[in-house]
Structure 1
Amino acid sequence: MPTITSETLANGLPLHRVALPGTRAVTILVAFDAGARSERAEENGMAHFLEHLVFKGGEKYDHYKKVNETAERMGGSLNAYTSHDLVAFHITVRAEAAMEAIDLLTDFVGRPLLNADELDRERGVVIQEIQRYKDQPSAVAEELIDKAAFGDHPLGRTVLGPEEHLRTFSREAIVAFRERRWAGARGGAFVVGNVDHVAEGDPAVAELFQRFPTLDVPGPYEAAPRLQLETLVEKRDSNQSHLRLMYAPDIDATDPAQRAALTIYSTLLGGSMGSRLFDEIREQRGLCYSVYAIDHALSDAAVLQLGAGLESSKCDEAYKRMREIVAELHADGPTEEEVERARAYAAGRRVLAFENTNAVARFAASQAIVFGEDIDPDRAIDALDAVTFADVAAIAKKVDPTAAAVACVGPHEVAEFAAA
C-alpha cells in the first residue's frame, strides 16, 4: 500500500509524496493545467512550444548542456509532455539522487531563462516536429478525428499548433501565457516511488519547489462542446488507410465509477486481443493488422475512440462492421463472460503499469489536476475491480451507435462513410 502525504506550499503549489514500497527509483513530476485546451485561438501551439523552451536552461543550470549533462550524471531519465489537458515535466532517478533531481527540475522549469536566441533556434525544431507528424498518416488521422469531433473548439485543434503560429510567437507572448496559466493552484508537484531521501516537511524540499512563482489563479477554460458528427477525409494516393471513429457516451465524466465502467467497455470492445473488434475485424475477417478502441476522459467530457490501420480496399467493409459491432453492443449488451475477462485484463494492465514510478506520477497528476480526485493508485485498481456487469451494460446503452465523428486518411471520399 502506498503512503501518501500532501501539503500546499506558500506559492500555492500542492506537493504530494507517494511512497511506493519495493522500488529503488523515484520520479519527480511537476504539471500544470496549461495544455492546449487552455490556449486562445491565436496561441495554438504555444503550450507545447513553451514545454520545449524551458529545457534550454534556468538560473542555476543556465544552458541546455548543463541541464542534459546533469541529468545524465544522475543516471536520470528526463522528459516532458503536453496534452490538451496538461503540460508536465518529469525526471526519474535512483532514490539517492532525489534532491539533486528536484534541484535540477525546479530550476529550469520553475525559473526558465527563455532566451530569445534559443527561442528562434527552437522554432525550427518544433516546425520539423510538425512536418514529421504530417508525414505519418496515423498521426494525421489522430489530429483529423479531433477536428471532426470538436471543430474549432480548442479540443479540436492540434497540440503542436500550425506552423504559421510557430513562426510568429514572441518571447513576450510566451512569458505572458506562462504567467497566465502556470499558477500553482492549478498545478501540482509529485514525488513518487522511493521517497526515503525526500523527508516529509523538509524545508529544503519546500524551498526548491517554491522556485515556481506565485501567480493568480487563471480563469476556466472553454467547456467541452457536444460531439460534432462530421466526417473528414484527407485524401492520399496510397494503398493503406487510417480510419478513426469517435463517440461521446452519455456519462458523467466527473464520476470515477462511470469512467471505470467505460474503461471496461472499451477494453471488451477493442482493448485486447480477445476483444470484439480484434477478434472479428482482424482474426475472423483479416481486414487489418491494427484495430482498437480506447476511452479518454477530460475533466468535463468522456469520449470513446475506435481506430484501424488497413489496406484501403478493405476500409469500407471494416468501417461498416465496426459501426455494426457498436450497435450490437448497444442493442444486446455485452456477455457476462466478456465483461469478467475485460475487467481482469484492464485491472491487470493497470497493476503492471503502476510498477513504474513514472506511470504512477502521471496518473497522480491527471487525478489531482484534471479531476481533483484521490491520487492513490491502489484505489484506481480497486475501481476497475469493482465494476459490475450491470455497470458495463449501462455504458453500452449510453453509446449512441448512430452518432459518430469519422476521420480517414487514404484514397477515399467523404461519401464513402455514410452512417452504417
Structure 2
Amino acid sequence: MPEFFQDTLANGLRVITVPMPHLHAAEMMFFFNVGSRHEASEVAGVSHFLEHMLFRGNRDYPTGPDLERAFEAIGGYVNAATDIETTCYHSRLHPAHLDQATKLFAAMLRYPLLRDLETERRVILEEALEDLNEQGEEINPDTLGARLLWPDHPLGRPPIGSRQTIEAMRLEDLERHWTQYYTPHNLVAVAAGRVEHGAFVAAVSKHFGSWQGSPAPAAQVFNEPTESPGPHSRWVRDSGSQVSLQLAFRGPGRQDERSLALRVLRRVLSGGGSARLMLRLREELGLTYGVEAQLMQTAETGALAIDLSLAPENLEQALDEVLRLLEELCTTPVPEEELAAVVRAFLYELEFSCDFTEELAARYGWGEAVGNLRTLDRERREIAGITAELLQQMARQIFRRESLCLAVVGPWRDEVSRRVTRRLKAFRP
C-alpha cells in the first residue's frame, strides 16, 4: 500500500491523504509556503500577525468563538503556527466530519474578515515581550543566534517580528500579504487518519476548487558571506540564576546530499541520555540539567545549534567540553557500536511515527510545501548508507571556526567573556 496519495486540483492546490484506517481520528493540515523569510524588513512579523487575524472571524463564522465552537462540534480544535518558511493551520477531527472540517478551513482561509486589529495587536505584543528583558533587549538565544548566522537577511529575524514592526502593522499590510501568499498555488491540504483519498479530494474540490490566484513571490535567497568570517558572538546581560547559551554552526540546506548525514550527526550529539552531550555534561560532570542539539535547515542553508542553561560558574568548563566533543567528532570516527545504536533509534522513531496522525500529516504536507517530501521508505533506504567515515567528513565540513556563532544570555562576567572569546578563536578541529 502506498504511504500516501496525492492529487493537484486545476487551480494548483495540492491534496495529500495518508490513510491510517485502523485509527478513530484524523488530522487535517493546510500548509502555506510563507513565513518570516518571505517578509520585507518594514513588515517583519506580518505572516505571524496574519495567522492570528484569521482566528478573528470570517464570512461564515463572524467571531473567533463561533469558529472555535464549530470545530469543537466535529471533535476538533483549530490551531496554527508560523515559522521561517511555512504557516500551518490544523485540527484533529472525527473522520465522519471530513467534509465539514474542510468547509470550516475554507471559510477561515478564503474569507477572513481581518477585524479587531488593535485587540490582536495587543495580544501579539504580549507574546513578543516573552523574549525581551526589562530593558527591552532581546534575550532569546535562538533569535540572537539567528542574527549571527544569517546577518542582514530575513532568516535572521524572529517570525513574530519586532515590537516596532508589530506596532506599525497596518490592515493594508495584512491584506496585501494575504493576497500575495494565500493562493491555491501556494497551498498544500493534507489529511491523515481514517480518511479515504477520494473523499478528501472531493471535499477540497468542493470548498476550495473555485479559488483562483497567482503563484506567490519567491523568498530572498541567502548567499554565504565572503567577508567577516567567524567566530562571532553576542553577549547580553540578564538577571537570573543561570546563563543560557547557544553554540551554532552554519551548514548546508536540506537539498544538500549530505543532509541525512547531518541529521544523524545531530543524533550522535543529542539523541537521548546516552548521547555524547548529555553523557559528558550531565552524567559525568554534572554541569547542566539538560543539553540539546537542534538542526534547522531551509532549502539553501541551515544550522546545527547546541543549547544549554547552567550556573554562571560552569559556563567556561561546559563550553570547553562541548568544543572538545566537536573536535573529537572531526578527528575520530564514531565507533561502529555507537553508530549502530543511533541508526536503530532513528529507524524506531520512523516506525513509531506511523501511530501519530499529526506526525505523518506534517511529514508529507510540510515536505510537499517546501519541496522536500521524504517518504518513510526513502529514509529507511538512505540511513543504511550512513557510515562513520561519512559522519566524520560531515563533522569536518560543518564544525568550522569560520561559521561558529555563540549567543550568551544571563549574569556573565567580563573576564569570562574574554576568556571564552579567546577559546573560540583557538577552535581548530
One-letter code aligned to 2:393: A
Q: Are the counterparts in 2 of residues 268 and 274 from structure 1 also a CA contact under 8 Å?
A: no
C-alpha separation in 2, matches of 1:258 and 1:345: 20
Q: Are the counterparts in 2 of residues 32 and 87 from structure 1 also a CA contact under 8 Å?
A: yes
Q: Are the counterparts in 2 of residues 360 and 377 from structure 1 also a CA contact under 8 Å?
A: no
One-letter code aligned to 1:39: E
The match for 2:234 is 232
Structure 2, unaligned stretches of length 5 or more? Answer: none
C-alpha separation in 1, matches of 2:255 and 2:197: 35
The match for 1:389 is 388
C-alpha separation in 1, matches of 2:271 and 2:133: 27
**How far 1:362 moved relative to its partner?**
1.5
**How far 1:399 moved relative to its partner?**
2.0
SS at match of 1:92: strand
SS at match of 1:133: coil
Aligned ranges 1:85-124 → 2 under 5 Å: 85-115=85-115, 118-124=116-122
Q: Are the counterparts in 1 of residues 296 and 302 from structure 2 also a CA contact under 8 Å?
A: yes
Q: Are the counterparts in 2 of residues 99 and 198 from structure 1 also a CA contact under 8 Å?
A: no
C-alpha separation in 2, matches of 1:192 and 1:127: 34
The match for 1:417 is 420
> After superposition, what is the alpha-carbon deviation per residue over 1:171-207, rounded to whole angstroms, capped at 9, x for unaligned?
11111012122232233111222113862652x4312
Q: Are the counterparts in 2 of residues 347 and 385 from structure 1 also a CA contact under 8 Å?
A: no
One-letter code aligned to 1:301: T
* Equivalenced residues, count: 413
> After superposition, what is the alpha-carbon deviation per residue over 1:29-81, rounded to whole angstroms, capped at 9, x for unaligned?
11111100000001111100100000112221221111111111122132111
**What RMSD in Å do the two structures reach over aligned CA positions?**
2.3
TM-score by length of 2: 0.90
One-letter code aligned to 2:409: V
Cα pair distance change 1:237/1:259, threshold 3 Å:
same
Instruction: Tell me whether 1:192 sits opposite 2:195 in the alignment.
Output: no
C-alpha separation in 2, matches of 1:272 and 1:260: 18
Q: Are the counterparts in 1 of residues 191 and 200 from structure 2 also a CA contact under 8 Å?
A: no
Instruction: Tell me whether 1:44 sits opposite 2:44 in the alignment.
Output: yes
One-letter code aligned to 2:208: F
Cα pair distance change 1:96/1:379, threshold 3 Å:
farther
> After superposition, what is the alpha-carbon deviation per residue over 1:227-266, rounded to whole angstroms, capped at 9, x for unaligned?
76320111113220111011123x46314x5222211110
The match for 2:362 is 362
Q: Are the counterparts in 2 of residues 20 and 193 from structure 1 also a CA contact under 8 Å?
A: yes
Aligned ranges 1:4-43 → 2 under 5 Å: 4-43=4-43
The match for 1:325 is 325
C-alpha separation in 2, matches of 1:391 and 1:20: 36
The match for 1:346 is 346
**How far 1:400 moved relative to its partner?**
2.8
C-alpha separation in 2, matches of 1:61 and 1:198: 27
Instruction: Tell me whether 1:291 sits opposite 2:294 in the alignment.
Output: no
SS at match of 2:23: coil
> After superposition, what is the alpha-carbon deviation per residue over 1:367-410, rounded to whole angstroms, capped at 9, x for unaligned?
1121x244534433444355333332332222234231110111
**How far 1:155 moved relative to its partner?**
0.7
TM-score by length of 1: 0.92
Pick one of 125, 128, 136 that aligns with 1:127.
125
Cα pair distance change 1:205/1:217, threshold 3 Å:
closer
The match for 1:261 is 261
> After superposition, what is the alpha-carbon deviation per residue over 1:293-320, rounded to whole angstroms, capped at 9, x for unaligned?
1222211113211111111110111111
Q: Are the counterparts in 1 of residues 148 and 405 from structure 2 also a CA contact under 8 Å?
A: yes
Cα pair distance change 1:410/1:139, threshold 3 Å:
closer
Structure 1, unaligned stretches of length 5 or more? Answer: none
Cα pair distance change 1:354/1:306, threshold 3 Å:
farther
One-letter code aligned to 1:396: A
> After superposition, what is the alpha-carbon deviation per residue over 1:5-47, rounded to whole angstroms, capped at 9, x for unaligned?
2222232211112212422221111111110000000111110
One-letter code aligned to 2:339: V
The match for 1:59 is 59
The match for 1:217 is 215
Question: Is 25-34 or 279-288 further displaced after alignment?
Answer: 25-34
